[in-house]
Each structure stands twice: as structure tokens, then as C-alpha cells.
Amino acid sequence: MLKIRREFIAGVERAGRKEDLYQYLQNAIELEHATIPPYLTAMFSLKPGTNEEIRRLIRSIVIEEMLHLTVSANILVAIGGSPQINTPEFIPSYPGPLPMGIGGQDFIVGIEPFSKQLVHDVFMVIEEPENPIPIKVLTESAETFGTIGQFYQAIQKKIAQLGNGIFVPGSAARQVQEWFGYTHLFPITNVEGAVKAIELVVTEGEGTSSDPFQSPGDPAHYYAFGEIYHGRKIIKTKTGYAYGGDPIPFDEKGVYPMKPNAKISDYAEGTQARVRVEQYAYTYSSLLNALHESFNGKPDNIQVAMGLMYELRIGAVSLMSTALGDGTGLTAGPSYQYVNVQGGMGPAASVS
């Protein structure tokens, strides 16, 4: 089970006013976001026309992470806060630990191409529920660490405790409502709505303690990654559940051999790789800018953000199909750095 430093849970529990919750909801937004670059990269690294089922599974998880980010941001907006999305600090430094010390300082998440090992060693660890099915033994001390589920439950409890008075009248009009369907994303105007929304976030990530499926045919993230790793769909057996269903084939050749954990500065100026990695980082930064606007008074701007998500996807293909030509056999890999300009060709006068 992925751990979160208990001080964050304690902080939520200590909150006396709604303003004390702002930072923790911002933390939740950052946490939900932190998984998106690694998952997106793994998904984008699957070559077009190959590994379709794996792509579909990761895509559905990424979309839910975006939903969770949206829910956390909407709750923050609902109680009068302002999500901060477009800052350099918003993006974790990859490879590195997740926000709030999740998983401990030794748990390092990077930007890597898809591999089953990556799914097993990183993604399944991120999404591991409190009590995985089949049940595993908790070995670590619960003294200094809690779970992400506990963190969200603490927020749920605190909101209930502070009561309906913390919700700003009329804030529903400032919440993002599109693209995820009303059953998953609805205006949050009171304790009941907030509690229900958080429940969905926890269930979609971890499932429930007795059922790996968040809804029929749709396993929670941990189990969906498990399907990918084990190469089979989950089925119900007489004794419980097994990765024994339809195969989920993996074609190793269908993955771009992209450079992992790249920084923009890793690529020489005046190369296609540099221009494309800068473009990708710029598009991602523009996406964060658009989301920031969406959560700060212009909810319809989510449409603009959707366009940027498609541009990012196309940019990833262009990037990951660019050979580095440095003898490693690698292609260019993305960098998630917040940038304000896009260049890459170096001083204009120096390139012929």
C-alpha cells in the first residue's frame, strides 16, 4: 500500500476553518496530477496500431486521474479556494518522489516508455489499495504513514464536520462540469455532494475492499494495471478473482524506444529532438495554463484544454519517432517542464 506522510492526514484533521483545507485540496490536485505524466508517457510510447488493449486500459485510467484532479479542484472552488495549476512547482521533478511523500522518499517515479516492469514496479505500487485482493499482509508500520484513501477520508470527514456553511453560494457556475459524464462529475454545492465525489475518487483508484471492480467490467486502477502486467483480464472464480480471462497481448516491438527521464537540456540545440521536446513541454505547459483558467473562473475553457490534449498526443508521436542518432538506438522522450517559450534551434544566426 502506497503511503502518505501522516502529517498531511493530521493536518486535515486539525483544520478548524475551511481555509485550512485549501492547502490539502491543492495537495490532492497535485497528487492526482503527479501520476498523469508517467501514465501518459507510457501510453504515448505505444506505437500506433499496436498494443491497442493496453493503450485503452491506460487511457481509461489517465482519464479518471484527470477526473479526480477535476473533482478535487471543484471541491476547492466550491469552498472558495483557487486551484493553482500553472506554476513550475506544480509539476513534480521526474524522476523523483510523488507529492506529500507518497510512497516514501525512496519511491521514485520517472518518465519512462511502457514496459510490464514499469507497470508492476511503479504504476501498481501507486495504485495499490489498502487491502488488495487477494489480500496481502501489511508489513509497514502505520505510525508515520497513512494511505491516500485515509487522506481523502480525512478530507471527507472534515468537510462534513465543517458543514454546509463552507460552500460558497453560486460556486457551481465556476466548476468544470464537462467531458466526464454527470454520474462522475456533478456540481458540488454541499457536504453530501463532496462526500459522494470523494467516494468515487477513492473507489475508482482502489476499488472497494471486497470487489476489484469499480463498476461491472471496469476494474479499479490497481487491477487494471494488474491485467496489463499479467496479460489477462480479471475474471471471477469460485474462490475469488484471477487474472485468467481474455488475453491482453503485449508486442514489445510496439513501443517507441524513447529516452527515459529526459530534460530539455539533455538534447543539443539545433536538432529535431530538441525542437520537438521543447514543443511538447510547451504544449503541456499551455495545457496547464488552460486548466488553470478553467478552474479560476472560466470553466468553459476546459474545451480549449481538450484541444491541447489532442495536440499533446500528436506532439508525442512526432517526438517519440525522432531518432536521437547518438548510437543508443533511442528516440526522443518527453520532458514535463513548465516553460514559457519554445525554441530549440539555438541562436538564429548560427544554423544554416
Partner 1 sequence: MSYLSGPRLHFNGFFQADVSTVNNNVRYYDIAHFKPQYQMSSSSGVSPNGGWQPEGTGIFRLVGCTITGGWLDGAAVTKDPVLGMALESSDQRVSGKLVDLDPQQQLVSEIWGMAVRLTDDRNPAYFNGQYGVAAFNNAWARQQDNSAMNDQKIGAAYQSVLEKVVWSDVNVSPLLQALQAASGDCLLSIQFNVYGYGRDPSSPRYTLGRITGTIGPASTAEPRHFVLGRQMMPNLDQSPMVPAFGVNAFQCLVDPQRCTVTADFGNALQIVNASGVLVDMGELSLAILKSSQVDDGAQVGADAIEILGQVPYLQPAWYPTTAGIQTFDYSSNPWVREHIAEQPLGVVKTVSTGAWQVLIQESLGGLYARADQYVYRLNPGETASMRLYATRYGSPIAAKLALAEDDSMIGSPGGPPIPGVPVPKIGVPLSALQYSTEVETHADGSPVLVEASANPAGPGNPRGYIDGQVYGIGYQLADPPLPANYNTSPWSFVSVLLFDLHPVPDKPTWYRDIQPILTQFGNLYPIMSHHLVDLGDYDSVVRHADILNLAFSLPVGDPNYMPVTRDLSAGRRATLLKWLNHPGEDGLPLKGVPLPVAVVPEALPQDTTAAPELDLEPIQRAGKTEFLLQLQARKNMEKGG
Q: Could you tell me which stretch among 23-31, 107-115, 222-230, 271-279 binds partner 1 (CB under 8 A)? A: 271-279
Task: Check whether the bond before 169 is cis (ω within 30° of 0).
Answer: no
Please tell me whether residue 279 binds partner 1 under the rule CB under 8 A: yes
**Span of 64-72, 209-217, 257-265, 287-295 interacting with partner 1 by CB under 8 A:** 287-295
> How many Å apart are CA 122 and CA 83, to the nearest integer?
27
Shorter beta-carbon distance to partner 1: residue 155 or 288? 288
342 binds partner 1 (CB under 8 A): yes
CB of 273 to partner 1, least distance (A): 9
Nearer CB in complex with partner 1: 48/249: 48
- With CB under 8 A as the contact rule, which of the stretches 6-14, 69-77, 89-97, 305-313 interacts with partner 1? 305-313
CB of 83 to partner 1, least distance (A): 16
* Number of chain residues interacting with partner 1 (CB under 8 A): 37
Please tell me whether residue 270 binds partner 1 under the rule CB under 8 A: yes
What is the Cα–Cα distance from 134 to 286, expressed in whole angstroms? 42
Helical H segments across 119-270, by residue range = 124-127, 148-162, 191-206, 221-230
104, 3 Cβ separation under 8 angstroms: yes
CB of 220 to partner 1, least distance (A): 22
* Angle (deg, nearest 10), helices 36-44 and 52-78: 160
Phi, psi angles (nearest 5°) of residue 265: -70, -10
Candidates 70-78, 162-170, 228-236, 313-321: pick the segment binding partner 1 (CB under 8 A).
313-321
End-to-end CA distance of the chain: 55
User: In the numeric block, which cell numbers belong to residue 106?
Assistant: 525512496
Those residues with Cβ within 8 angstroms of residue 333's Cβ, 6 or more apart along the chain or in another chain: 41, 111, 113, 258, 259, 260, 261, 262, 277, 319, 320
**Contacts to partner 1 from residues 29-68, by CB under 8 A:** 48-49
The dihedrals phi and psi of 164, each to the nearest 5 degrees, come to: -65, -20
Cell 504515448 belongs to: 44
**Mask for 168-207, x = binds partner 1 (CB under 8 A):** -----------x----------------------------
Q: Look at residue 89 and give its three-state secondary structure.
A: helix
DSSP code of residue 29: H
Specify the 3-state DSSP secondary structure of 255: strand
Stretch that binds partner 1, among 149-157, 166-174, 236-244, 309-317 (CB under 8 A): 309-317
Interface contacts to partner 1, rule CB under 8 A: 48-49, 179, 270-272, 275, 279, 282-283, 285-286, 289-290, 293, 303-304, 306-308, 310-311, 313-314, 317-318, 340-346, 348-349, 351-352
